[in-house]
Amino acid sequence: MAGAFGGFKGCQKIRGPQLRSLMEAKDYFLFDCDGVIWHGEQAVTGAAKVVNALISRGKNVVFVTNNSTRPRESYVHKFFRLGFTGVMLEQIFSSGYCSALYLRDVVKVRGQVFVIGCDGLRRELQEAGIPCVEEEDDPAATIYDCALAPDVKAVLVGHDDKLTFLKLAKASCFLRDPECLFLATDNDPWHPLSGGRILPGSGSLIAALEVASGRKATVIGKPSRFMFECISSQFSGVDPAQCLMVGDRLETDMLFGSNCGLDTMLTLTGVSQLEDAEVYRSSELTANHSLVPDYVVDTIADFLPAFEELDEQIN
C-alpha cells in the first residue's frame, strides 16, 4: 500500500478513511511499546482502547520491543495493570526473549552466558534453560585479581543501569576468546527520561565493548530481522505485506519494518519527530530512505475514529 499515493514516498500523515482502509487491509499489527503504548507506568491515552479493539476485531496484535529489562510475564502484568486486558504471553516479543531463542535455537550455545543486563534479562535466559554466570556481590573485587568464570561461550549485552567497570572488563576478557560469541539485545543509543535527562542505552555499552575487544556485536533486536523471524515462526505463514509496524523511533522501528518488508507507521508520542523523518527522506544517501516511515500519526489514538466509522458501517 505504501507509496500508492504518489509524490515523495513516505511520511504520509494518515487519518480518517485512509487510516480505516489501512486497518482493514492489514492482518498483523506490530507495536513497539515504550513511546508508543506507554511512557513508563503511564499508558498513552487511548492506546488500551485501540489495542483491545484491534484484538476484538480479530486482528493479530504483537508487541516488538527492544526493552530487555523485564521478562515476558512481567509485560503481561504491566499490560493488564494499564488496562490492556486481552494481551497474552504469546503476543510479546522482547529483545530479551528473542535473545534467549537465538542462543537456544539458532547458535545452540553450549556453556555459560555472561550477561551485561538487568535481572529480567537473566531470568528470560534461565527460563529458556540457558545457564548464566552468577554475578558476584563483592564490591572490593577488581579485574586485576578476581576469578573469571570458566566455560563462557557468549557475552550478551543489554540495557544495564547497574553497569560497573568490573562487568565491562570481565566481558572484554571473555571476548578475547574468538569462540566466545558477542551478542547484544539491541543497539538503542539512549532513552529519554523525564526532565530532559537521558539514559545511556545498550548501544552505548556495546560501543564500549566493541572498542575494548576490537570485535563487532551481533544485534538481536530491531532493526535486525531476527525478531520478525521469531514472530513468523510462532504465527506460521505471516505475510509481510499484511503487516503494519508501528513505532516511535526511526533508527530502530522504521528500519526494522523496511528490513522485513513491512509497511511502517511512525507515531509522534516518542523519540522521533516528523522533521527527523523528513531529513532522512530528503537525504542523498539512499540507505537513509529505509528509515522513512510510510505513514505518520500523532498518536495511535488516531485509530479510534476509524473504529467508530467501522462500527457505524456495521450497524
Annotated catalytic residues are 32, 34
Measured distance CA(97)–CA(92) in Å, rounded:
9
7 binds a copy of itself (CB under 8 A): no
CB 67 within 8 A of CB 74: no
Write the CA distances from 310 to 53, 59, 211, 306, 315, integer angstroms: 11, 14, 54, 6, 9
Interface residue with a copy of itself among 207, 274, 304, 310 (CB under 8 A) is 207
- Kindly indicate which of the ranges 24-32, 170-178, 217-225, 278-286 contains the residues binding a copy of itself, using the contact rule CB under 8 A: 170-178
Binding flag, residue 118, a copy of itself (CB under 8 A) = no
222 annotated among ligand-binding-site residues: yes
What span, in angstroms and rounded, lies between the C-alpha atoms of 35 and 30? 14
* For a copy of itself, the closer CB: 175 or 266: 175
Helices 47-56, 303-314: inter-axial angle, 10-degree rounding: 40
What is the residue type of 281?
Answer: R
Cβ nearer to a copy of itself, comparing 34 with 294: 34
Please identify which residue in 1, 82, 149, 212 interacts with a copy of itself, judged by CB under 8 A.
212
What is the C-alpha end-to-end distance of the chain, expressed in Å? 28
Contact 179, 194 (CB under 8 A): no
Residues 6 or more apart whose CB falls under 8 angstroms from that of 229 comprise none
Instruction: Name the DSSP class of 34.
Output: B
Q: Which residue's CB is nearer to a copy of itself, number 188 or number 294?
A: 188
Q: Does 176 bind a copy of itself (CB under 8 A)?
A: yes
User: How far is residue 98's CA from residue 190's CA, in Å, rounded to a whole number?
Assistant: 21
Asked whether 265 and 294 are in contact (CB, 8 A), the reply is yes
Residues 216-275 that bind a copy of itself (CB under 8 A): none
Closest separation between CB of residue 194 and a copy of itself, Å? 8
Q: Which of 110, 134, 197, 313 binds a copy of itself (CB under 8 A)?
A: 197
> Beta-carbon neighbour count of residue 205 at 10 Å?
22
Has 289 been labeled as part of a binding site?
A: no
Nearer to a copy of itself among residue 128 and residue 143 (C-beta): 143
User: Over the Cα atoms of the chain, what is R_g?
Assistant: 20
- Taking CB under 8 A as the rule, which mask of x and - marks residues 123-162 in contact with a copy of itself? -------------------xxx---x-----------xxx
Q: Is 211 in the site for a copy of itself (CB under 8 A)?
A: yes
Is 253 assigned a ligand-binding role in the annotation?
Answer: no
Q: Is 248 annotated as a binding residue?
A: yes
Q: In the complex, which residues of this chain contact a copy of itself (CB under 8 A)?
A: 142-144, 148, 160-165, 168-169, 172-173, 176, 189-190, 193, 196-201, 203-214
| Binding-site positions for Mg(2+) | 32, 34, 248
Q: List, as residue ranges, the binding site.
A: 32, 34, 191, 222, 248
